[in-house]
């Protein structure tokens, strides 16, 4: 059992977040209520549970179980963060498609017809603006009203989680209201902040905590390398976000991550298995557990959504249900070969992580389950194949991994970063390839790196961002199955580089303006 998982449920099932009801041991009626400030004054150790509550916003729909959601009016299964990340960064890109088509998924999987009323954009946006004010409230209480042991560490972790939320706001929507220590609690709607302004705030927060957050931490919590990885991610995409390239800074920070002691796992699949909490490669995971951290929107969504009970033995993957929804396209598995036979013959172990039996290589109809190969990269088994089938997944989601850092370094070197070398970048790229049994390359280009990122990081919530950074997401220079709603792909507008601001957000804050094209 993963220790941090226990804290999320055991502490937070007891403590509500906005007010805490204190009960006599023998009675069921509240005697009095405590504010967060009063709670922490009475019991400083409660900060552990409250902090865990904030981490859980990225992992669960709610600490009240898989049938509840932190987001008012949201479907508990559809609104969790991991599900939103896959929906927005993988289904909208070339690697994955979904066949269900319910209420907005068709817009995502065909990269067409996006509008401000799509509930999947709203769920991600609302999740961000659930986490940001809650973390800010706790930060202010700790800074101004209550003292707890190891306070600077708790504040640093809360600032990291707030910056992580802003990172996804910057990437997905490009603008929004800036809730921080100064603006929190404003009685008036906050002004709209630009992408560059949000970037500057997230960067300043991460730089401020880089040397105050612990070098190591409990599994599932942020440490120094986690902060540095997020900085490297910001800098890697800075040209998209602000118009100014920051590849030197990206290489500097990703080098710090690489030097921090993480190692590539010998077994690639361990990173996507039930025992990945012991992986030496995962820099920052989002917790899942079949008993204590249940959600339909964490890796349960990935595992069950990629299985079908009519054609696959679910217990082989540790699942009790197969939802028959997600399949990869040839834009992903085609990087390993031009047929199912090619994938089977490949020495690259990543090529084996697609279900090909009864499925066609071409995705002529994205709504037909047998078109395209389901990815079986994530499963709810230990890396050695042991483990029983459970209703929910116990496989943590690896938000940041070392192999990603290696490929980021290689990309920065090719983009001219003076703080990286192409020779070392090629070494790192080949280490990623060799780990999976792929052949060693004698040279590399930016296309080589982009392709390797697809092989290595498919269905991990990176692909749309990568394609935008490489100038291949919009326009017609690169097509993939069902891009723009066409079987063989068609050009799409540059407006699609950001998602529309949800209508509900603009109704709540009339200072917000819609993104171009929507």
Q: What is the dihedral of CA 480, 467, 450, 402, to 10 degrees?
A: -130
Rounded to the nearest 10 degrees, the angle between the axes of helix 247-258 and helix 402-414 is: 150
What is the 8-class DSSP label of residue 91?
I
* Residue 35 confidence (pLDDT): 87
Spatial contact of 383 and 489, defined as CB atoms under 8 Å apart = no
Position 325 scores a pLDDT of 97
Closest CA to 155 of 15, 51, 226, 18: 51
Look at residues 118, 84, 87, 93 and name the one whose alpha carbon lies nearest to residue 482: 93
Name the phi and psi angles at 237, rounded to 5.
Answer: -100, 10
Scanning 224-338, the segments in alpha helix (DSSP H) are 224-236, 238-242, 247-258, 299-305, 330-333
User: Per-residue b/e over 6-45, b at no fewer than 16 CB within 10 Å?
Assistant: ebbbebbeebbbeebeeeeeeeeeeeeebebebbbbeeee
CB-CB contact of 395 with 286 (8 Å):
no
| Rounded Cα distance, 264 and 74, in Å | 38
Q: Tell me the pLDDT of the chain (518 aa) as tens digits.
A: 454 443 333 333 333 333 322 222 223 333 346 789 999 999 999 999 999 999 999 999 999 999 999 999 999 999 999 999 999 999 999 999 999 988 799 999 999 999 999 999 999 999 999 999 999 999 999 999 999 999 999 999 999 999 999 999 999 999 999 999 999 999 999 999 999 999 999 999 999 999 999 999 999 999 999 999 999 999 999 999 999 999 999 999 999 999 999 999 999 999 999 999 999 999 999 999 999 999 999 999 999 999 999 999 999 999 999 999 999 999 999 999 999 999 999 999 999 999 999 999 999 999 999 999 999 999 999 999 999 999 999 999 999 999 999 999 999 999 999 999 999 999 999 999 999 999 999 999 999 999 999 999 999 999 999 999 999 999 999 999 999 999 999 999 999 999 999 999 999 999 999 999 99
Q: Which pLDDT value is given to residue 328?
A: 98
Question: What pLDDT is stored for residue 33 in this prediction?
Answer: 63
> Cβ distance 84 to 124 under 8 Å?
yes
Task: Please tell me the predicted confidence (pLDDT) of residue 1.
Answer: 41
| Confidence (pTM) | 0.94
What are residue 373's DSSP bridge partners? Answer: 328
- CB-based contact 271:459 (threshold 8 Å): no
Looking at residue 2, its pLDDT comes to 52
Three-class secondary structure assignment of 5-70? HHHHHHHHCCCCCCCEEECCCCCCCCCEEECHHHHHHHCCCHHHHHHHHHHHHHHCCCCCCCCCCC
Residue ranges and CATH numbers for the domains of the chain are 3-288+399-500 (1.25.40.390)
Q: Which two tokens stand for residue 347?
A: 């020495």
Distance (Å, whole) CA 47 – CA 67:
26
Task: Check: CB of residue 232 under 8 Å from CB of residue 284.
Answer: no
Which positions ≥6 away from 154 have C-beta within 8 Å? Answer: 47, 51, 142, 148
CB atoms within 10 A of CB 477: 8
């Amino acid at each position: 059992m993963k220790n941090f998982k226990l804290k999320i449920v055991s502490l937070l099932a007891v403590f509500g977040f906005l007010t805490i009801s204190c009960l006599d041991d023998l009675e069921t009626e509240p005697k009095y209520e405590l504010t967060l400030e009063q709670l922490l004054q009475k019991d400083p150790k409660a900060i552990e549970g409250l902090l865990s509550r904030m981490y859980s916003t990225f992992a669960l729909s709610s600490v009240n179980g898989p049938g509840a959601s932190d987001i008012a009016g949201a479907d508990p299964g559809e609104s969790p963060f991991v599900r939103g990340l896959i929906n927005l960064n993988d289904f909208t890109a070339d690697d994955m498609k979904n066949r269900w088509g319910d209420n907005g998924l068709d817009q995502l999987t065909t990269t067409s017809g996006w509008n401000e009323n799509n509930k999947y954009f709203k769920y991600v946006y609302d999740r961000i603006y659930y986490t940001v004010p809650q973390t800010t409230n706790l930060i202010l209480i700790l800074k101004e009203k209550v003292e707890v042991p190891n306070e600077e560490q708790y504040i640093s972790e809360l600032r990291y989680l707030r910056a992580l939320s802003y990172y996804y706001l910057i990437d997905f929507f490009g603008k929004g209201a800036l809730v921080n220590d100064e603006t929190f609690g404003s009685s008036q709607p906050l002004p709209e902040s630009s992408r560059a302004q949000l970037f500057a705030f997230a960067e300043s927060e991460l730089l401020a905590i880089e040397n105050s957050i612990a070098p190591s931490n409990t599994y599932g919590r942020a440490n120094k390398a986690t902060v540095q990885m997020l900085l490297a991610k910001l800098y890697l995409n800075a040209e998209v976000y602000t118009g100014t390239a920051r590849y030197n800074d990206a290489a500097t920070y990703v080098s710090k991550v690489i030097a921090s002691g993480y190692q590539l796992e010998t077994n690639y699949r361990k990173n996507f298995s039930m025992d990945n909490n012991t992986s030496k490669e995962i820099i920052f995971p989002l917790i899942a557990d079949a008993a204590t951290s249940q959600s339909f929107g964490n890796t349960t969504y990935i595992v069950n959504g990629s299985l079908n009970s009519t054609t696959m033995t679910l217990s082989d993957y540790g699942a009790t249900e197969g939802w028959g929804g997600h399949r990869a396209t040839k834009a992903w598995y085609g990087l390993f070969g031009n047929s199912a036979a090619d994938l089977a013959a490949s020495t690259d172990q990543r090529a084996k992580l697609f279900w090909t039996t009864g499925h066609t290589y071409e995705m002529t109809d994205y709504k037909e389950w047998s078109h395209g190969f389901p990815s079986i990269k994530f499963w709810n088994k230990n890396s050695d194949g042991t483990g029983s089938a459970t209703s929910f997944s116990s496989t943590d989601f690896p938000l940041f991994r070392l192999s990603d850092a290696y490929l980021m370094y290689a990309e920065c070197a090719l983009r001219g970063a003076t703080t990286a070398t192409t020779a070392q970048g090629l070494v790192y790229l080949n280490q990623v390839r060799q780990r999976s049994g792929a052949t060693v390359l004698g040279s590399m280009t930016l296309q080589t790196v982009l392709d390797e990122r697809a092989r290595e990081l498919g269905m991990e919530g990176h692909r749309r961002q990568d394609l935008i950074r490489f100038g291949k997401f919009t326009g017609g220079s690169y097509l993939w199955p069902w891009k723009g709603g066409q079987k063989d792909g068609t050009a799409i507008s540059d407006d699609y580089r950001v998602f529309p601001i949800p209508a509900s957000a603009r109704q709540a804050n009339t200072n917000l303006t819609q993104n171009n094209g929507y």
